[in-house]
């Protein structure tokens, strides 16, 4: 069997689980572009409560994702994913029928409490071999990115036919569809175990939290999502009051700007990878974000310049959102990638919460200027962090299963292969975690060694 080719069961598992993540993502984010216009009309609405309602799901997502993962290790993946999807559906229903800010905040909190993203990735790890793991996680990441872009377009478009509160009820339907996929399409794992490359390890959590290069990246994803959420406290209101676009027509602006941003960011990601010049493109994404905030701030009544600002905003966000998980994987120690990605996810969700609350408060105190100025300064601060960041090495991770008694012999052979940068052996997993330069996995000695280990296993 070719080590790089997925089996039929692996393909089915990855596609099905990615679909579940996508359905949940669409249900969660399609309301975001029109949320502020809807929330400000509810009884008891204030800018601060509006921002809290927008961002509170991030806080609960950060709080519950690791406990859900631990529960799934003990009680099984499917029951825990089912529980999370049901909590998400209940939260969506409460938000959909809410007639006050209090119940909207409760509903959004429950949407976040159904934090099964890490559990879905753990189940994907259960159902795929180590040699297919990188590809399966990449597919999951692409499905998340595509679902997010689709959600940002669907929300404003669907408001031509549906009221905003009905978008929450549509999210209930998406959650039920995800449950049906879970039980009728996703294979049941033969065994459930903890995966070092996909799940966090609490004992190394603090050590990686203060790891300097990872801290810069985690600070970056926190700032990115704080900027994004704070911006969407005011962007829909801005488009309504100054550009003359009601909620059901804002898709006319989102569609071309999202498409342009998606195409350009995809091209830039490809160029960065081919030229191995990731840092200049990464920095350009932050600069685009800062310019976008200034353009949206200073030209609210000009549709053309607003469209340009939105294009730059979505371009910068898409580019940085694509680069950051890859940078985390390349920077983290080979045997602690799951923990590093867990901290990254927590930082992302806490950024959503902070952006919502700060954006709402700033809008209430200082209007549009306060929010856009905050976002601009946050982007410039991040730019300084990024300029201090070490250019990343273009490394790939690899895992080898081998018995403990052969470790010394295998390690000696691996160290002789050009391009092998880091080797960590974890005895309790009987697994070697490697970081390799590109091309090292195709070196004849490496291929020969892998074939020997596979034949012995």
CA distance to 27, 156, 315, 348, 454, per residue, from 251 (Å): 17, 5, 17, 26, 53
Half-sphere exposure of 389 (CA within 13 A, CB side): 27
Beta bridge partners of 434: 398, 423
Rounded Cα gap, residues 258 and 222, in angstroms: 22
- Closest by alpha carbon to 114, among 28, 52, 202? 28
Across-strand partners of 274?
none
Rounded CA separation 207/342 (Å): 13
| Helix runs in 299-336, H state only | 303-331
Contact 176, 53 (CB under 8 A): no
Short-list 350, 358, 329, 336, CA closest to 65: 350
If we measure between CA atoms, which residue out of 52, 58, 32 comes closest to residue 105?
52
Q: Which residues pair with 398 in a beta bridge?
A: 434
Which has the closest alpha carbon to 322: 182, 142, 55?
A: 142
- In order of their start, the domains of the chain are 1-199 (1.20.1250.20), 213-392 (1.20.1250.20), 395-456 (3.30.70.100)
- DSSP secondary structure, 330-342, as one string: HHS-TT-HHHHHH
- Return the pLDDT at 2: 44
Category of 367 on φ-ψ map: left (φ > 0), alpha (ψ -120 to 50) or beta:
left
H runs (alpha helix) in 116-211: 117-126, 130-158, 164-184, 205-209
Per-residue model confidence (pLDDT) at position 1: 39
Reduce the DSSP state of residue 195 to 3 states and report it. coil
Identify the H or E element spanning 230. Answer: helix 212-241
- Residue found by looking up tokens 């029928």 in the block: 97
In eight-state DSSP terms, residue 10 is H
Per-residue pLDDT in tens (0 to 9) along the chain, 457 residues: 345 578 888 899 999 999 999 999 999 999 999 999 999 999 999 999 999 999 999 999 999 988 888 888 888 889 999 999 999 999 999 999 999 999 999 999 999 999 898 889 888 888 887 667 777 877 887 888 888 888 988 888 898 899 999 999 999 999 999 999 999 999 888 777 666 666 677 777 788 888 888 899 999 999 999 999 999 999 999 999 888 888 888 888 988 998 899 899 889 988 888 888 888 999 999 999 999 999 999 988 888 999 999 999 999 999 998 888 878 877 887 667 778 888 888 999 999 999 999 999 999 999 999 999 999 999 999 999 999 888 877 777 777 777 766 777 888 888 888 888 888 777 766 777 788 877 777 788 787 877 777 676 5
Give residues with Cβ within 8 angstroms of 239, minimum separation 6.
245, 250, 253, 306
Tokens of 190: 């033969």
> Which pair of structure tokens corresponds to residue 351?
């950024």
Cα separation, 152 vs 163, in Å, equals 16
Q: What are the φ and ψ backbone dihedral angles of 32, each rounded to 5 degrees? A: -55, -45
Per the CB < 8 A criterion, the answer to whether 234 and 371 are in contact is yes
Query: Element (H or E) spanning 421, and its range?
Result: strand 420-426
**431-437 sheet: strands from edge to edge:** 395-401, 431-437, 420-426
pTM of the model: 0.88
* Distance, CA of 72 to chain centre: 20
Cα 350 from Cα 58, distance rounded (Å): 6
- What local confidence, expressed as pLDDT, does residue 337 receive? 76
Q: What are the tokens at 66? A: 């690791």
Instruction: For 57-112, give the DSSP string.
Output: HHHHHHHHHHHHHHHHHHH-HHHHHHHHHHHHHHHHHHHHH--SHHHHHHHHHHHH
């Amino acid at each position: 069997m070719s080590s790089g080719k997925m089996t039929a069961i692996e393909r089915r598992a990855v596609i099905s689980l990615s679909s579940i993540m996508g359905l949940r993502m669409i249900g969660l984010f399609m309301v975001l572009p029109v949320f502020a216009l809807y929330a400000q009309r509810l009884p008891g609405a204030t800018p601060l409560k509006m921002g809290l309602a927008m961002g509170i799901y991030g806080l609960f997502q950060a709080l519950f994702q690791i406990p859900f993962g631990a529960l799934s290790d003990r009680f099984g993946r499917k029951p825990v994913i089912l529980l999370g999807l049901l909590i998400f559906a209940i939260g969506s229903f409460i938000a959909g029928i809410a007639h006050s800010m209090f119940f909207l905040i409760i509903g959004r909190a429950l949407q976040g409490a159904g934090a099964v993203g890490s559990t879905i990735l753990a189940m994907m790890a259960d159902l795929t071999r180590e040699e297919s793991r990188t590809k399966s996680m990449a597919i999951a990441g692409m499905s998340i990115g595509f679902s997010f872009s689709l959600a940002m377009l669907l929300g404003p478009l669907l408001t031509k036919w549906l009221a905003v509160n009905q978008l929450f009820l549509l999210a209930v339907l998406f959650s039920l569809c995800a449950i049906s996929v879970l039980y009728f399409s996703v294979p049941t794992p033969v065994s459930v175990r903890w995966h070092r490359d996909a799940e966090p390890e609490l004992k190394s959590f603090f050590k990686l939290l203060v790891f300097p290069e990872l801290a810069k990246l985690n600070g970056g994803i926190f700032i990115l999502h704080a900027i994004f959420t704070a911006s969407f406290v005011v962007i829909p209101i801005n488009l309504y009051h100054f550009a003359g676009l009601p909620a059901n027509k804002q898709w006319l602006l989102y569609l071309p700007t999202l498409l342009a941003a998606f195409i350009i960011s995809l091209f830039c990601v490809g160029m960065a990878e081919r030229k191995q010049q990731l840092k200049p493109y990464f920095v350009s994404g932050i600069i685009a974000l800062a310019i976008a905030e200034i353009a949206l701030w200073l030209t609210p009544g000009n549709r053309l310049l607003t469209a340009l600002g939105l294009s730059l905003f979505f371009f910068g966000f898409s580019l940085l959102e694509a680069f950051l998980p890859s940078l985390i994987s390349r920077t983290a120690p080979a045997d602690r990638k799951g923990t590093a990605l867990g901290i990254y996810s927590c930082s992302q969700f806490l950024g959503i919460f902070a952006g919502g609350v700060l954006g709402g408060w700033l809008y209430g105190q200082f209007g549009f200027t306060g929010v856009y100025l905050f976002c601009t300064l946050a982007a410039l601060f991040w730019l300084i962090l990024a300029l201090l960041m070490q250019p990343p090495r273009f490394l790939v991770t690899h895992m080898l299963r081998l018995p403990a008694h052969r470790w010394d012999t295998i390690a000696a052979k691996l160290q002789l292969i050009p391009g092998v940068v880091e080797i960590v052996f974890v005895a309790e997993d009987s697994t070697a975690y490697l970081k390799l330069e590109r091309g090292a996995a195709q070196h004849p000695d490496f291929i020969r060694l892998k074939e020997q280990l596979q034949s012995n296993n």
